[in-house]
Structures are given as structure tokens and as C-alpha cells.
Structure 1
Amino acid sequence: MIPVQPPVLQRVRADGRVSVRQIDGRTRLHRLFQEGAAKIRFPAPESAALEAVLINTAGGLTGGDRVEWSADAAPGSSLSLTTQACEKIYRAGTGRAEVSVALKAGAGARLCWLPQETILFDGAALSRRLDVDLAQDASALILEATIFGRKAMGERVDRAMFHDRWRVRHAGRLVHAEDFRIGPDVADQLSRQATTNGGRAVATLLFLGENAEELLTSVRALTGEAGSASFWCVGGTGKLLARIVAEDGYALRRRLLPLARLLNGQAGLPKIWTS
């Protein structure tokens, strides 16, 4: 008998890159690259900043899929990046989904990474990497929010694998690093008081800028007792870190939106978040 070989499944490959620069007091698109399932769109600008919407046309990720995003804001420019929808990570038969994000901001530039939530399904496997390189006097707002199954849809994540790695540098110096790992017994780990005490949704916001300390009191008021916020002066810049834990995605977004709006100042929220 001839052995039956398992089918070779098509995997997602996505690579999106964008760079911007300042021209006549406004941020303008300089270069754009899109390959595979990666698409980048630009809503009509309403301010001096530029907003980019990242789209994964595959509609979700599973084991073996690879997505790469990169953005470069030239000196003095202002770029905000978000996603068209929540990124869904489905059950992985083999391997893991991998998402890589590389962000760079020149002197005096402002860069915001504000994707919508990542939703993990039971059996999902995801490795996510975020690298940020800020020049002197550049500022950045970084957000990642993750939901372990949608409570309203009756979803439950018992087993999954998730690794989230951040490295943020300012003027060449490492000012923030973290590695979050959970799995394979996600339900048991989330039930522990030292993790989320049963909460299914978490978010981390990192703001680096000269006025970070001034925002600390207001941020703590918004995070509430189920969250936390701290400030440090590291490498010549202010660093404000906030974390939120919520029972589900709906409760998380209710607290996340005003917090992101506060930290993003006059730019507010990406238009797609409020549409």
C-alpha cells in the first residue's frame, strides 16, 4: 500500500512596509511596499499627522502563517498605525503563527502603534515580536491588547501557546524589554490571582515622551483597581507603562479607549476605532 501523504496547506505570507516624512509641515507618504496578504490603506487626513490602516487579507492566522509589518517615521513626522479589524488566531494543527513588527522614528518624530485587539481561539499558537527604535527627542505610544476567547460568543480557551516579546530602544539604549509567555494550560494559568484572576482580556500601553510623568495620575484613574500604571525616567526620556485586565473584550475596550485617547493627545483615537 502506498502511504497517503498529508496535503500541503497554503500558508499566509504577508509583508507590509511604510515610511513617511514631513513636507511643508505635514506628514506625507514616502515609500510603500505590500506583498502577499499585507495591504496598507490611508484614510483621508484630517491633521498634520498621517494614519495608516494595516490589513491582513487572509482574515486570520494559524500555525505556519507569517506576517511582517514595518514603519519608519522620518525626523519631525507623525505616523499612527492601526489595523482594520481584530486579528484572529485560530487553532494550529502544526507550528505557530508568527507576527513581527519593526518601528523606527527619527529625531522629533511621533510614532503610534495602535492595533485593534488580538483574539486567541482554543488551540491557537502565536509568537509575536515588537522592535521599536526611537531617535533622540522622538516619542511613541505602543499598544497591544489580547483577548483569550470572546465571552459573548461562548468561546473558551483551555489550551493555547502565546509568546509576546517587546524590545524598545531610545537613542540606541534599551529602555523597555518584556517577554510574556502563557500556555499550554491557559485556562488554569488565567484563573490564578497572580495572573489575571480569571480575566480573559489584557492590554499593555507604553508611552515614551517628555510629558509622560504629567499623565501618570490621569492614567491611574482610568486603569482602576484591575490595572496598574508606573513612570520611570530612562535613557533621557520619560516612560509610562500601563496594564489593564478585564473580564472580557467588551469590558477591556470600555477602559482602553479613553486611556488610548488620553495618551495620544490631540490626535485622539484612530478613525477606524470609532467608526
Structure 2
Amino acid sequence: MTAEAPRHQRADGGVEIVFGVARGRTVLRHLYQSSPMRVLFPDAEPGTPITGALVNTAGGLAGGDMVRVQARVEEGATATLCTPAAEKLYRSLGPETRIGTALHVGPGAVLEWLPQETILFDRARLRRRLDVELSPGARLLATEMLVFGRAARGERFREGFLHDAWRLRVNGRLRWADALRIEVPDEALEDRFGFAGAGGFATLLYAGADAAERLPVLRDLAGPLGAATVPREGVALIRWLGPAMPVRAALAAAIPALRAALFGLPPALPRLWTT
């Protein structure tokens, strides 16, 4: 007799969160959470929006795990969603890890989507999608960063799979779409016309009616590892590519400057990025 292959327990959970306005300030209207995901609400620093901290209580995600995040910011509200630490994608035994995020920003509302980096362990397999719906007058500042392997241990992402897709709609119409697919071994990670052996890759996107006017500021913030552009009307972005720590440092320097320039917030990172 042959023993059956072991069946591993997989995570399948997520969060639903809604922010609205009551008595002139942004408040939490709805929260649903399912393990391994939780949302915590640390006290906001003076002059900063209400902040939801997305916490993975498992400490990381493995092959076969599924996570869904749905967030809505109602008309006139302002909110920040971030994470207290990097998300770790462990080596997979075959199945993909799936992460789906859907953000809806109501008329005149502002959302900051500022998670910390995602670390792809060697042999991780990740399929991730971010869908954003903006209403007229809504604004969004969103960031994502990928680290190809555990840099502190000298590990490289040499085998595995990644499919990372963004979809941005304004008033129901597709405004910007982007996707990154890597299946390694893949020459693109090492090719000088691809990722050139980079350890980190980060994207910062601003969506708003004044996006084109903000391009000079974004170019100043891009630095030697980055470049800024306006790919479509109402969308401006910076992308950085290089060693993981300098890329993170460049992203961490750009966020405070843009929070101040775009939204009149204090020029600081969310506290969870530094504690």
C-alpha cells in the first residue's frame, strides 16, 4: 500500500471595510474580517487620516493560501490602509498563493493604499490583482513593492511564478491597466534589458484630475533608481528598480513628500512603516 500525499491546511480569508463621514470626520462604517486577516486601528498621528492596519496573523502566505481585501471610502471621506510589516510569500510546493484587492473610492474621497513590501521567497508562486474604482473627484495614492528573495540572507528568487495585475477604472471606464508576469528560471530577471539582476521593484501611483500637474514633483522624487511618467490622463506614476534596500528607501522618501503635496498631510510616513 502507498500512503496518500499529505493534505496541507490552507488559509482562505479576508477583510471588508467601509469608511464614511459622520459629524464632519471620517469614521468606520463597516468591518468584516476572516482569518488569517485582521484590521487594527492605531491612534492616528495629529493631522493624519484614520488608518486601518491590515494584519496577516499567520505571519506569511504559502502556496494555496487565498486572501481577499475589499475597501470602500464613501463620498468625502479620507482614509489610509497600510500594513505593519512586509508580507512574506513562502516557498510553494506547487499551488499558487492568490491575493485579490478591490478598492472603491467615492466622489470627492481620498484613499491612501500604502502596504509595505512583499518578499518573494525562492520558489514562491504568487498571483495578485489590484482593482480600483474611482468616482468623479476621487483621488488615490497607491504603492506596491516586490523584493525578489530574502536580501538579508543573500537569497535570490531563482525559481517560482509571479503574476501581478493592476486595473484602474474611473467612473466605470477603464483608465489604466498593467500586468507583470515572471516565471523563473526566467532570463528577464537577470537580463540587462529586463530587471538586470535587481533585488527590488516598486510602483507608486497617483490618480486624480490633477495628475499631469504633479509630474514635475514625481520626477524630482524618482531619483537615480526611478522614472516618472503620465501614462494616461489622470494617472501619474513612479517606478523604481534596483537593490532592495535603496528601492525601499526611495519609496519611503517619496510617500511623505507626496502626502504633503497632494493632500496637505504632515510630511511623514504612516507610523506603522517606522515602528
Call closer, same or farther: CA 1:101–1:260 in 2, change over 3 Å. same
Match of 1:222?
A: 221
Large movers: runs of 4+ above 6 Å:
none
SS of 1:251's equivalent in the other structure is helix
Match of 2:254?
A: 259
SS of 1:202's equivalent in the other structure is strand
Tell whether 2:175 aligns with 1:175: yes
Greater displacement, 105-114 / 145-154: 145-154
1:257 and 1:225 map into 2 onto residues whose CA distance is: 15
Tell whether 2:78 aligns with 1:82: no
The question of whether the paired residues in 2 share the 8 Å contact of 1:215 and 1:263 is answered with no
Counterpart of 2:169 in structure 1: which amino acid?
R
Match of 1:246?
A: 242
1:21 and 1:92 map into 2 onto residues whose CA distance is: 39
1:233 and 1:145 map into 2 onto residues whose CA distance is: 22
1:153 and 1:55 map into 2 onto residues whose CA distance is: 24
1:258 and 1:151 map into 2 onto residues whose CA distance is: 20
Once the two structures are superposed, residues 119-177 of structure 1 have per-residue CA deviations (whole angstroms, 9 ceiling, x without a partner) of 00110000001000010000001111000013222212211100001111011111110
Kindly state the Cα deviation for residue 47 of structure 1 after the two structures are TM-superposed: 3.3
Counterpart of 2:118 in structure 1: which amino acid?
T
Match of 1:204?
A: 203
Match of 1:160?
A: 160
The question of whether the paired residues in 2 share the 8 Å contact of 1:26 and 1:48 is answered with no
SS of 1:155's equivalent in the other structure is coil
Match of 2:23?
A: 24
1:182 and 1:264 map into 2 onto residues whose CA distance is: 32
The question of whether the paired residues in 2 share the 8 Å contact of 1:207 and 1:263 is answered with no
2:132 and 2:101 map into 1 onto residues whose CA distance is: 8
Once the two structures are superposed, residues 210-245 of structure 1 have per-residue CA deviations (whole angstroms, 9 ceiling, x without a partner) of 3323321222122124321112552xxx21011001
Aligned residues: 269
SS of 2:55's equivalent in the other structure is strand
Tell whether 2:19 aligns with 1:39: no
Call closer, same or farther: CA 1:48–1:25 in 2, change over 3 Å. farther
The question of whether the paired residues in 1 share the 8 Å contact of 2:176 and 2:232 is answered with no
Match of 2:230?
A: 231
The question of whether the paired residues in 2 share the 8 Å contact of 1:205 and 1:243 is answered with yes
Counterpart of 2:102 in structure 1: which amino acid?
A
User: Identity of counterpart residues, as a percentage?
Assistant: 38
2:62 and 2:73 map into 1 onto residues whose CA distance is: 31
The question of whether the paired residues in 1 share the 8 Å contact of 2:70 and 2:103 is answered with yes
The question of whether the paired residues in 2 share the 8 Å contact of 1:26 and 1:49 is answered with no
Once the two structures are superposed, residues 153-206 of structure 1 have per-residue CA deviations (whole angstroms, 9 ceiling, x without a partner) of 2212211100001111011111110110011214x3211122221211000111
Greater displacement, 83-92 / 265-274: 265-274
The question of whether the paired residues in 1 share the 8 Å contact of 2:212 and 2:236 is answered with yes
Structure 2: state its 5+ residue gaps. Answer: none
2:47 and 2:13 map into 1 onto residues whose CA distance is: 29
Tell whether 2:151 aligns with 1:151: yes
Counterpart of 2:105 in structure 1: which amino acid?
A
The question of whether the paired residues in 2 share the 8 Å contact of 1:49 and 1:77 is answered with no
Structure 1: state its 5+ residue gaps. Answer: none
Counterpart of 1:271 in structure 2: which amino acid?
R
